[in-house]
A and B are shown apart, each in its own frame.
Chain A
Amino acid sequence: MKAKLFPLNKLSFKKSLQRFKRLAKLAVLTVALANLSACSSLGVEPWERDLLAKKEMALTASPIDAALDDHIYFSKEASSGGKSFGGGGCGCN
């Protein structure tokens, strides 16, 4: 009896796992779509870009500082990149 039950349980477990996976996929898709539609309500009109257009509001406001910092931390720490390419580039690491 027990031997019979076990494969049944296994089967139902598999089924519920599949169901869960499907649900999870659906949830991820829903969240992604919701995000995208949320994004479309975010943002500004072209004439509202006065502050965003300022140099200091650029994501990388000073590319030179960023390049120098990347080089320092690349050669002194075990991480690199993230914001842009981590890359190779010098024999310093």
Chain B
Amino acid sequence: MSLLRTRDISIHFGGIAALDEVDLSIEAGEIVGILGPNGAGKSTLFNVISGFLKPAHGRILYMEEEITHLLPYERVGIGLGRTFQHVRLFRNLTVYENLLAAQHRHLSSGSFAAMLRLPGWRRDEDQAHARVEQILDVVNLRPWRDARPGELSYGTTRFLELAAVLSIKPKVLLLDEPASGIQQKEVEALGPLLKQIRDETGVAILLIEHDMGLLLKTSERIYALDFGKIIAEGTPDEVTANDQVLESYLGRTRRKSTATA
């Protein structure tokens, strides 16, 4: 039984098929990479899985239950976390407040409890603050506790974003180019880090990454996507040896270079 599965997902933008009958699945605790050139539909696929886009056709199954109709926040509620290709975060909130906001899912007290300082609110606040204090130490963001994301290096905001999305304790984590814009040294550490996160939490990770080294080293299984279609699936070795993948990935650049030459 797969943890998350898409069936025949299709979506069109102005007559162009951004996704064309995409079937993929991910097991609990698996790290699955998605390979594909720019415009292949990778981020669109993430938007469909996380509920930010409605597919024209197809279904999304999570633990064998259909979740196609669920809104993005409801999918977070059942354990689907995601990051964005461009770091979002809350720009006007501090690092601490960002992490506090990420605790939302684990709290339950209402607005009147807060306005009247009822015990339920107190318990929630204690729990949320204790967790964030802990996370700050673990991710080594304490020196930036009161800084706003704009004051951090891009790499640091990536880790803040990762810490925030892990705070929701997802069962499936969709990472959209986590290595883009960060230093090479940090990129190299990211692979082992993702594996470690997986080992310690059992989270399944679906990974979009342009850094081929990272993608191939980290993923246990890879789907290759081109023009919205899955053109190959298998282990990193199998996929990189696939003719169609070579054609779409390397062939295109070859063609391009001959054209410009």
Is chain B found bound to chain A in the same assembly?
Answer: no
Show the binding face of A for B, using Cβ within 8 Å. Answer: none
